Structure 1
């Protein structure tokens, strides 16, 4: 008897099928180790106590970790003078943001963010079933907050603000944030993503903890992946009013922050002063690199993270090819047709970058 069953296979939801791929920083495969400046990682590894703490916790990996991440949640809260109920921890700030959008946005809702900004924003918005509303950056690669406020509609549920903005670098000022919050209805959740806050030196830059109590609809998003050098352990968190945090906590995947990750983050937070000293060294290198690039004719927006942005537009992929053409290959993060984000590495790595960029014969700004 012939097989009359349907041969069609399961298909994903249209919004998922249409998702853009998240593009990680290039890793390289050459026999000569590349200069990896593609993922905004710390140029220094974790301090010894962090490795020891994570290793000790790994002896219990046959047991489930503390689902509530009690100790690291309390330590984060204490470091910010908040109550633990005002902090939720997840497997990286990207995961926390995913849970946030699960809790606050869905089909028929809108999520507003600047563009270009963190590439996970449109992906996570689509996964939540919501509609992304992208507001172009200004000519200075900054958030256009008046335009973002004007984009708010009755369907808007969440607004994402990235300060400093990844991948372009500028921060949002306190005055800009206050004006924006005054223009946005309190029913709209505003999320201030401060993944790179430890590198910020702009005097007028907004500090999330300093303004948090003024706004009942504001949440902060932070991570241990950058300045705390724990990108491989995946620990991030959100901070805000307990009533806003509780629905996010309800969406966090149970046991998603491993025991070694919790222990490592706890030890890293205890070594905060050491990490801040390391961040200051990265800032000094950032200023040196940015100044050298500008002196060589490159357009470099205000850089306040651990990276610089080269807005070369149509020449982006050619520049990436040039940087990787000889050994050691210099790996950066391209955004095709827009520009190149370059992580600040160790001094020798930055010198190699500057030398390779100095031999570039193409445009040093978008044309």
Structure 2
């Protein structure tokens, strides 16, 4: 070993640098010149309800106190339909992933995920030094039979539905069959971040599934249809012994007081929630209809975004010129695609006009890609 190599290996962070060499840092969606033009981060385009905003002004008076989450946790458990000891609040739903990794994954454990996968799932798996077994998506959705087969001997299965980055949701019957077929010793982490945008007849009965499958953990967030992404509040639902172990791993006061107050107000404001989610669904279907008309491949979505086979480079300049940003598929494991978050009606009208301009001519940009 040379003197330089010896000096490098003696640095206190050297071992961590080697272990984390393949763990990428998170890349957020690009900002846009105007707030409404940002179609890259799957945020709620209308923002939090007026009731939430006024509640936050009042909650700011108490930020010198540590938060007390007990009352809200009990209320949320009642809303979800589970006992309070089966629900755990977390700092965004991503914290739940980290807690699961810390509590249940050991070096060398087999972890299953569809690929491309959600980034935090890959990160948690790598940090635990577990071994990822990837199952390719089929037409943008999970290959349920292959996932069930791969679960034999596995410790954990990451299962976002709707999937991110494609937006495809698992049919209710398909999810039930998958849970029946998965190795009962394998945790199934059902990420329902986008549940609020899923057609009601396609939403699974979580209470029933949890009663039948003690290896199931359900992951949810207030970031999407409740529009509280900046406050970082999520929660997990699972069997009481699982929640107890996760609670032991979680740090104290990981959920802040203003987030608790805002979420409580958001649950009260049904009218705003229903109005804003209906708007997103309407705009999603308008975009899907245009993509169909223009013969652009896309994954039918049940989320607040649509992923289409459009190379980002072919439209990046035009998007920028019109004050819009979308997410390049290259950053999500889908090169040659873009993920388009649903924005306000104004932003989506502008996006549709741009897409029609770019792709409705005989020599559109696809011919040069």
TM-score normalised by structure 1 residue count: 0.90
2:57 to 48, 55, 58: 55
1:362 aligns with 2:358: no
Equivalent residue number for residue 132 of structure 1: 132
Query: Which digits, 9 at most, give the CA deviation of each residue in 1:222-277, with x for residues without a partner?
Result: 00000000000000000111111111111222111111111111111122343123
Q: Secondary structure at the match of 1:304?
A: coil
User: How many pairs were matched up?
Assistant: 352
- Change in Cα spacing, 1:70 to 1:205, as seen in structure 2 (3 Å) is closer
Pick closer, same or farther for the CA change 1:281–1:178 going to 2, 3 Å: same
Contact 2:82 2:207 in 1 (8 A): no
SS in 2 for 1:17: coil
Given the alignment of the two structures, is residue 331 of structure 1 paired with residue 325 of structure 2, yes or no? yes
Query: Paired residue for 2:276?
Result: 278
Answer yes or no: is 1:180 the counterpart of 2:178.
Answer: yes
Q: Secondary structure at the match of 2:231?
A: coil
The residue number in structure 2 matching 1:16 is: 20
Report SS of the residue matched to 2:167: coil
Mapped pair 1:86 → 2:80: no
1:249-306 C-alpha deviation (Å, 9 max, x unpaired): 1122211111111111111112234312321121111111111121111112111001
Unaligned runs of 5+ in 2: 1-5, 359-363
Say whether 1:212 aligns with 2:216. no
Task: Give the match for residue 315 of structure 2.
Answer: 319
- C-alpha change, 1:294 and 1:188, in structure 2 (3 Å) is same
Q: Residue 46 of structure 1 aligns with which residue? A: 48
Deviation at 1:205, TM superposition (A): 4.8
Q: Are the counterparts in 1 of residues 36 and 45 from structure 2 also a CA contact under 8 Å?
A: no
TM superposition shift of 1:33: 6.0
Match of 1:257? 255
Q: 2:160 — aligned with what? A: 162
Pairs within 5 Å for 1:137-148: 137-138=137-138, 140-148=139-147
State the 1:185 CA deviation.
1.8
Aligned partners of 1:194 and 1:222 also within 8 Å: yes
Query: TM-score normalised to the size of structure 2?
Result: 0.89
Following the alignment from structure 1 to structure 2, what is the Cα–Cα distance between the partners of residues 320 and 162?
28
Runs of 4+, deviation exceeding 6 Å: none
> Counterparts of 1:335 and 1:238 in 2: how far apart (Å)?
29
Q: Report the CA distance shift for 1:321/1:152 in structure 2 as closer, same or farther (over 3 A).
A: farther
Q: Could you say what secondary structure the match of 1:238 adopts?
A: strand
| Cα distance, 1:273–1:54 mapped onto 2, change above 3 Å | same
- Check if 1:344 corresponds to 2:342: yes
Distance (whole Å) between structure 2 residues aligned to residue 39 and residue 160 of structure 1: 21
2:365 counterpart SS class: coil
Whether 1:152 aligns to 2:158 is no
* TM alignment of 1:19-34, pairs within 5 A: 19-28=23-32, 30=33
SS in 1 for 2:228: coil
- The CA deviation at 1:168 is 0.7
Matched, 1:289 2:291: no
Q: Secondary structure at the match of 1:332?
A: strand
Q: Which residue in the other structure is 2:74 paired with?
A: 74
1-structure distance, mates of 2:201, 2:62: 45
**CA distance in 1: counterparts of 2:266 and 2:200, whole angstroms:** 25
**C-alpha displacement of 1:166:** 1.1
Q: Secondary structure of 2:185's match?
A: coil
Q: 2: CA distance between counterparts of 1:236 and 1:33?
A: 24
Match of residue 3 from structure 2? none
CA displacement at 1:17 relative to structure 2:
2.6
SS in 2 for 1:220: strand
Deviation, 1:6, is 5.0
1:98 aligns with 2:98: yes
Task: Say if 1:169 and 1:304, in contact at 8 Å, map to a contact too.
Answer: yes
* Range with bigger deviation, 337-346 or 207-216: 207-216
